[in-house]
Chains A and B, each alone.
Chain A
């Protein structure tokens, strides 16, 4: 159980980084540079994918309790990271996108339905 919780933590941390990456990436004006960062963003997503493979059930969504716990954890982490940047003067960072981006990624990895 302890191991499962650790994997959930690591999974959430990587998805959070991927969401932060995706939202910050949108603030880049140059489309070609953006494509380059798109590749980099895949790093955290592919690491998260590895952790997902260690979370049962692998081929269907997790129990609702786990879904909510993971989703809330990611959203809190992302908002915390982005708020820190907004305070420092970042513009074009849209906190309203956090939930939908998180759900999209969790859907791709069959955490959510």
Chain B
């Protein structure tokens, strides 16, 4: 049993006041030990587009931020921030951090697999402006310090080409991928599409676009691995080829 109270100044002796409404272990006449409480600086968390998060996740985030206290900023993103506990990794962006063994800390302390991007504000800004994956990644986040991104999108067709390769895997491996992998690849292709069309890239927009293009419930069906292969792949291939051709045209025009 512990109580925390403050030492106050008296005339001849200083004292510690405690409430009369207290645990019986602290009755008048009992001997107690007193020791200073080390005061930890409370870390504020800045939430971007996160309405709710489980308390245990906040605790993990605080501990990570505390561990990386010398980094200029730390951003937590990805599936870790989605509702529930269906995640097994955690995405971190460390801005101007030191070489602290954060991977070991996270995997040993929380049993999570960390994916870490070490970067600078400048590179992050470039990434946000040129890369739909960064935009999607930073659609929701928790950071140690407040960040405001001033978006000035700049299309880099070569980056988009590399990004698009990840969605191609769905065509070749449809039968062998699980629902989450399929959903990730579908989301990726729509993020690229929206980026090319200069549309906002948020999880909600992307999900709406997926359902609008492939039909109602496609998002849920893909997560649950219930997509009907033939019907889906036909439309997906068309979308993939349209985007690929658009990117190639962009590369061609840039080369001229």
Q: Is the CB of B176 within 8 A of A10?
A: yes
Given A44-B169, A89-B251, A90-B158, do A33 and B163 touch, yes or no (CB 8 Å)? no
In the complex, B97 has a CB within 8 A of chain A: no
Partner of A33, one of B126, B161, B168: B126
Q: Which residues of A contact B162 (CB under 8 A)?
A: 21, 24-25, 28, 37, 40
In the complex, A20 has a CB within 8 A of chain B: yes
A73–chain B nearest beta-carbon distance, Å: 13
In the complex, B205 has a CB within 8 A of chain A: no
Q: Is the CB of B168 within 8 A of A40?
A: no
Q: Is the CB of A14 within 8 A of B169?
A: yes
Q: Is the CB of B168 within 8 A of A17?
A: yes
CA distance A25 to B166 in the complex (A): 13
CA distance A39 to B113 in the complex (A): 13
Q: Is the CB of A27 within 8 A of B158?
A: yes
Q: Is the CB of B252 within 8 A of A17?
A: no
In the complex, B172 has a CB within 8 A of chain A: yes
Closest partner residue, chain A, to B171 (CB atom)? A13
A27–chain B nearest beta-carbon distance, Å: 6
Q: Is the CB of B117 within 8 A of A21?
A: no
Q: Which residues of A contact B115 (CB under 8 A)?
A: 39
Closest partner residue, chain B, to A39 (CB atom)? B115
In the complex, A88 has a CB within 8 A of chain B: yes
Interface residues in A77-92 by Cβ distance below 8 A to B read 84-85, 88-91
Given A40-B162, A43-B166, do A32 and B119 touch, yes or no (CB 8 Å)? yes
In the complex, A4 has a CB within 8 A of chain B: no
Partner of A90, one of B127, B159, B251: B251
Q: Is the CB of B255 within 8 A of A33?
A: no
CA distance A65 to B223 in the complex (A): 40
In the complex, A104 has a CB within 8 A of chain B: no
In the complex, A97 has a CB within 8 A of chain B: no
Q: Is the CB of B127 within 8 A of A17?
A: no
B116–chain A nearest beta-carbon distance, Å: 9
In the complex, A108 has a CB within 8 A of chain B: no
* A–B pairs, 28, beta carbons within 8 Å: A10-B176, A14-B169, A17-B169, A21-B162, A21-B165, A24-B162, A24-B165, A28-B162, A30-B127, A32-B117, A32-B120, A33-B130, A33-B159, A36-B131, A36-B133, A36-B134, A37-B162, A40-B162, A43-B166, A44-B165, A47-B176, A50-B176, A51-B176, A84-B248, A85-B248, A85-B251, A90-B158, A90-B251
B residues engaging A (CB < 8 A)? 115, 117-120, 123, 126-127, 130-131, 133-134, 158-159, 161-163, 165-166, 168-169, 172-173, 176-177, 248, 251-252, 254-256
A residues engaging B (CB < 8 A)? 10, 13-14, 17, 20-21, 24-25, 27-28, 30, 32-33, 35-37, 39-40, 43-44, 47, 50-51, 84-85, 88-91
Q: 20 more A-B contacts (CB under 8 A) besides A20-B165, A32-B117, A51-B176?
A: A10-B173, A13-B172, A17-B168, A24-B161, A27-B158, A30-B123, A32-B120, A33-B126, A33-B130, A33-B159, A35-B118, A36-B134, A44-B166, A44-B169, A47-B169, A47-B176, A84-B248, A88-B248, A88-B251, A91-B255
